[in-house]
Structure 1
Amino acid sequence: MFNGMEGDQRYAKQIKASEEQVSVALQQLQDLSGEGSKALHNQLQQQWQAYQEELKALITALETEGFTDLQPIADLAKRNQQLLVLSGELYGKIQQESSTSVPPLTERSRELGLLMQSISVNYASRNASVGGTFIGGSGGEDEKPIDELANDFQKRLSELKASPRNTAEIKASLQSVQTKWNYIEKSLKNYNENSVPFLISKYSEQIISGLEKTSELYAAGKL
């Protein structure tokens, strides 16, 4: 988005705030006891540092040259996907080594938020590529067609909404997510025809935030 808005300072501030949030979260995980968790945490920190360096170089190029090459954008998106994968692995390893488990509906809502992030990154990457052709990719979610990911998202969201354990507050939260999803679903499925990156970015952020709220509600009810 920062690239597409020609360095809009609102997005620059959002980038800075997000960087600080990630750094704080990683710092809070410094005292992990399990060896597997420690190893994954170290990998995640290394990937995050590399991501920050690539992001800084990209922003500097945009500020000094007024434009950026496409390949660095694709490389950054690839790094983003790697961070998501490593984060998921660390999340699972912490549960395994601490002999704890997250309640199923809480887990599913968190996974749905990660899927929305993956869809958003995919869309931005393809939008930045020449002729809508994605540059880069390393297998996994980042190479699945966006329409396939969108179908998966709607399927999982519908399954969550259908749970008989949902409280009135959770139902309202999920319906809010559904309403926002409805605004972008068609554009995602027709990603090669209509490019609306700012719309996707805006509603993706709201959907992710809504799913985080839903996860908190599930967790509070131990669901």
Structure 2
Amino acid sequence: MRLFARRIKLSTASIFCTIFFLTAALQARANEELNSLLKDINGISVHSYLAVNAYYNYSANSGDKSLLQDIVDSLNGVNEATQALEDNSSKEVYQSDVETILDELQTLKELLNTNIKFVKDEGYPDLRLSDDLARQNKDITEKLALVQEKIYIDAPPLKSTPQQKSRDLALLVAQMMTKYSARSSSSVAQTFQGSETDKTLDQLALDVDSVLTSLDKSVSEPEAKKTLNGAQTKWKFIRNSYVNYNDNNVNYVVNLYSIRMIESLRELSEQL
């Protein structure tokens, strides 16, 4: 009888262990899929800002055809991330949000085309159209951020990982660069003012400092550390331009190193 009872206890313990490890494995798989969704969301957000940023630069230098190609390249990045989002099975939990975002992205592309056509025809930007573009992009980013927060609720550990921090920092730098470009272009400067609670560029620079410090403490793998060091070096080169904005700063240089920093941070997120 005792032997029988002991076997029952062992069997019960074995079942509980199996259930525990199976549940853990399923949760790990779910988190992996949600992490992939976070990557897609970040890709859309970053590239949409890069596209708007490229448009601001083009509106101030419409004779530079390479800036048109920058817009096209950024939109291709949006399309690739959007396709990955649509192919991700985890999106079904947030289907209604995703469908709204896809519609909003189509509107953004149409606004970009309308703005570009106006600049081509007239040689200068239409402030109302530029304002519509900035507002549409901001609205998309906010909707994507809401989905991101829902993912954090479903998978809390994903919020504070070095990988996600590097993604969020890439987006922050893209937002700062776009704000800087709008400010540098007198024709569209008033279209990117944001709300009264928006942080200034010098305040945002302090946020960049903080995240870079956090990443420096948590990233140890040699290849990832090398990539992070590259991002830090680029930041040191342009930090003062963001902190102490003035008309004498060269927007091209700030854009060049900001984009390279974004690329380094996105590469870092793939290495972590």
Q: TM-score, normalised by structure 2?
A: 0.69
**Contact 2:177-2:255 at 8 Å conserved across structures:** yes
- Hey, what does 2:165 align to over in structure 1? 108
- In the alignment of these two chains, the number of paired residues is 214
Task: Please show how residues 54-133 of structure 1 align to structure 2 within 5 Å.
Answer: 54-94=111-151, 96=153, 99=155, 101-102=157-158, 104-129=161-186
Query: Of 104, 110, 113, which aligns to 1:53?
Result: 110
Give the superposition deviation at 1:104: 0.9
> Which residue of 127, 135, 146 maps to 2:201?
146
Q: Which residue of 2 aligns with 1:29?
A: 85
**1:53 Cα deviation after fit:** 1.3
Kindly provide the amino acid, as one letter, of the partner of residue 3 in structure 1: S
Deviation (angstroms), 1:106: 0.7
Cα distance in 2 for residues equivalent to 1:137 and 1:94: 29
TM-aligned CA distance change 1:123 to 1:35, over 3 Å: same
Matches within 5 A, 1:170-209: 170-209=224-263
Question: Of 49, 62, 70, which residue of structure 2 is paired with 1:14?
Answer: 70
Answering whether residue 60 of structure 2 is matched by residue 4 of structure 1, we say: yes
Q: CA deviation digits over 1:121-141, x for unaligned, max 9?
A: 2112222346x9643544388
How far apart are the structure 2 equivalents of 1:95 and 1:25?
A: 20
The SS at the match of 1:162 is helix
Q: Residue 158 of structure 1 is aligned with which of 196, 201, 213? A: 213
Structure 1: unaligned runs, 5 residues or longer? 219-223
> Which residue number corresponds to residue 49 of structure 2?
none
1:37 & 1:101 partners in 2: Cα distance? 19
> Aligned to 1:21, what secondary structure does the other structure show?
helix
The sequence identity of aligned pairs, in percent, is: 29
CA contact (8 A) 2:119 2:126 kept: no
Distance apart, 1:206 and its partner CA:
0.5
What secondary structure, in the 3-state scheme, does the structure 2 residue paired with 1:119 have?
helix
Contact 1:77 1:125 in 2 (8 A): no
Higher relative contact order (CA 8 A, sep 6+): 1
* 8 Å Cα contact 1:74-1:129 kept in structure 2: no
SS of the residue aligned with 1:158?
A: helix
Q: 1:81 to 1:121 in 2, by over 3 A?
A: farther
Counterpart amino acid of residue 240 in structure 2: K
Partner Cα distance (1:136, 1:207) in 2: 22
Q: Distance in 2 between matches of 1:74 and 1:199?
A: 25
| Structure 1 consecutive aligned stretches of length 4 or more whose deviation exceeds 6 Å | none
Aligned to 1:221: none
What is aligned with 2:51?
Answer: none
Structure 2: give runs of 5+ residues left out of the alignment: 1-56
Q: Higher Cα Rg: structure 1 or 2?
A: 2
The AA in structure 2 aligned to 1:184 is: I
Higher mean alpha-carbon deviation, 52-61 vs 193-202, is at: 193-202
